Amino acid sequence: MKKEKRKKTRKSILAITVYCILFIVIIIVAIIFSTKPSTKPPSQEYFKVENAAALADPNPNDPQNQKIKIKFLSFELTPIKGDAHEVHIDPGGALPTDEWPHYPLIKANETEHVEITLKNPVIAYKEGEYWTLEIRVWCEESSWDLEEQRIKVYIKNWYPYS
């Protein structure tokens, strides 16, 4: 009688152990495959932004003139790693998503002139001889990770808006 109980107890302990190990293996495999890094390049590598200009006003709260408030931004966008399908640009400035610039296709190494009028001004910061502003740009071929969509726009020339 005791041997039968021991066999049943050992079998149930063995079964529970096997199920626990199987459960742990499934969780580990799920974690490995869910954190797979993106194979798509970040937007900074996929696109080139150049010839940026802006209509802006000096920031009245900045006596050292290290910031400007941009109300209109223009630049040239070129995909340098291949064709770019469904290109979206988020310039910030509380612009509704349906007003974000969108291009169904920009061919590789072809330049698209982008002009954006912002509902609310965005701040650009002085870095050397340029004013810099971060925007988000992405397409089907580039990374969809929010951090990897950021591109720094270097503005050499800005003109008074008012």
- Look at residue 13 in the predicted model and tell me its pLDDT: 85
Structure token digits, residue 22:
């199987």
pLDDT at position 57 is 93
Q: What integer pLDDT is reported at residue 149 of this predicted model? A: 94
Low-confidence stretches of the chain (pLDDT < 50) are none
Residues forming a β-bridge with 33: none
What one-character-per-residue DSSP string does 10-79 give?
HHHHHHHHHHHHHHHHHHHHHHHHHTPPP-SPPHHHHEEEEEEEEEEEE-TT-TT--EEEEEEEEEEEEE
Q: Give the residue from 123, 120, 103 showing the smallest Cα distance to 111.
A: 103
pLDDT tens for 68-83 read 999 999 999 999 999 9
pLDDT at 137: 97
In the chain, what are the domain boundaries?
1-36, 43-160
Alpha carbons 161 and 133: distance in angstroms, whole number: 17
C-alpha to C-alpha distance for 108 and 129, rounded to whole angstroms: 30
**CA 88 distance to own-chain centroid:** 11
In 3D, which of 120, 123, 126 has the Cα closest to residue 65? Answer: 126
Q: Which CATH number is associated with domain 43-160?
A: 2.60.40
Q: How big, in percent rounded to 5, are the helix, strand and coil portions of the chain? A: 25, 45, 30
Which two structure tokens, joined as six digits, stand for 16?
Answer: 């529970």
Distance CA 141, CA 105 (A): 11
How far apart are the C-alpha atoms of 57 and 161, rounded to whole Å?
A: 6
